[in-house]
Every structure is written in structure tokens, then in C-alpha cells.
Amino acid sequence: MATKEDLPDWVLTALIANGGSSRLIDVAKYIWLHHEVELRGSGDLFFKWQYDMRWAATQLRRTGKIKAADLSPSGIWELV
């Protein structure tokens, strides 16, 4: 069963697969395409995973894995 703690790795994988940067919507699409079954079986996470995906991005910023929001174009997430 997927948990909120899986999302940082999924976000990183989506960014890598998209060449190191991506629009938020494309990260969400990637996660859905590759983890739909896990999300559907994840209980409450199924109803809030897109919110938690944004939480994951914040965690990745804090750990220096993706650029700060003010260093990337609006709506774009980028690997450092």
C-alpha cells in the first residue's frame, strides 16, 4: 500500500523521466500513469495524493533535491 512517504521518490522519478524539469500537472500525470494501482489501494491517500505530491516537492526543496520555487519558472519543478 502506498503512503505519503512514497511521494518524494515518485516526484523525483517523474522529474528524471521528464528530463529534469516538468510542469506540476505533468508530474501528476506521470505519477498517475505509473502508480494508479498503488494509489487506488492506498486508503485516504487516494483522495489527497495530489495535495501530498506538493508536500513532497516542499520536502525535496528542503533537502536540496529540487530548486526553490523562486529559482524556477512559475509552475515548473526542476531538479538541482
Number of domains the chain contains? 1
pLDDT block averages, 10 residues each, the chain of length 80 = 97 98 98 98 98 97 97 96
pTM of the model: 0.96
pLDDT at 51: 97
Q: Kindly give the interhelix angle for 45-62 and 24-40, rounded to the nearest 10 degrees.
A: 130
Domain that includes residue 43, residue range: 4-78
